[in-house]
Amino acid sequence: MRTIEIMHGYIKKTLKFNDCDVLRINVKYPDVKILPSVLYQKAEKRINDFYLAAVNNFMSFCEKRLYKIAAAEFSANEFEFKPFGAVITYEVTQNQNQEDFLRVNLDANIFAEKNRVNSVKKSQIWEFNGGNVYLRPIKSLRRRERQRAL
């Protein structure tokens, strides 16, 4: 019998310019454990490596590019400046009818200037047996599996 444990990884960081907060980063990402690990080690590693790479890319973007934009905005308008924000959150759902799949929804949001919000929503469906990722809805996967069985 397989057991799925979803734990959380967190990164919380504030970047400063001239001793003032200019960028606040808050990242929450999934850390998946699939037991028994002997059977699902490959899938667990693929899933976790995928989200660590996504977080590293997001942090690199924030620390290099977004920080420069925030610092320039602060320098131009120090008295009315509001710190920029960068946030990643996620939601994990497991389809009860399809026990072999795990769906992860990631939301990344950038809060810049006074009212502008940029956001990206991505969803991945993971297969436990091989650690493969699918970008199609689970219904499409079920249909394909049935066709393969015929």
The band of 64, judged by pLDDT with boundaries at 50, 70 and 90, is very high
Q: Which tens digits make up the pLDDT trace of 107-148?
A: 999 998 765 678 888 888 888 777 788 765 445 444 444 444
Per residue in 14-34, pLDDT (tens digit) is 999 999 999 999 999 999 988
Q: How far is CA 134 from the centre of its chain?
A: 16
Average pLDDT in the chain: 84
Contact 29, 55 (CB under 8 A): yes
How much of the chain is in helix, strand and coil states, percent to nearest 5?
35, 45, 20
Could you tell me the end-to-end alpha-carbon distance of the chain, in angstroms, rounded to an integer?
Answer: 27
Partners of 118 in the β-ladder: 110
Task: Give the H/E segment covering residue 102.
Answer: strand 101-112
The pLDDT tens digits of the residues spanning 93-118 come to 765 555 678 889 999 999 987 656 78
Which 3 state secondary structure label does DSSP give 124? strand
What is the C-alpha to C-alpha distance for residues 69 and 92, in angstroms, rounded to an integer?
32
**Global pTM value:** 0.82
Taken in order of first residue, the domains within the chain and their CATH numbers are: 3-149 (3.30.565.40)
